[in-house]
Amino acid sequence: MLDEYDFSGGVRGKYATRYKEGTNIVRLDDDVAAMFPNSEKVNEALRTLGQLIQHHTDIGLTEQPPIT
């Protein structure tokens, strides 16, 4: 890193609107990130989980059974 940077040619607020609209970046905890080699595998796992949740909702398994 340099000791100083020249921002005299910069444009203030150039990306402010885009930033304000939000982002889709999600920070995974280290232990969770260690389970997946890349973002493709994270997406695959989340899609599978989403399908399982939807399937259980569709067949009426949304309530937890009582713990005995």
pLDDT in tens, 9-61: 999 999 999 888 887 888 999 999 999 999 999 999 999 999 999 988 887 77
d(CA 35, CA 17): 35
Task: Specify if 39 maps to a domain.
Answer: yes
Please give the residue range of the domain that contains residue 54.
Answer: 35-62
Higher pLDDT, 15 or 67: 15
Task: Specify if 19 maps to a domain.
Answer: no
Task: Specify if 57 maps to a domain.
Answer: yes
Predicted local distance difference test score (pLDDT) of residue 21? 87
Read off the tokens for 49. Answer: 């989980």
Task: Specify if 27 maps to a domain.
Answer: no
The total number of structural domains that make up the chain: 1
Task: Specify if 52 maps to a domain.
Answer: yes
Helical H segments across 1-68, by residue range = 16-20, 30-33, 39-58
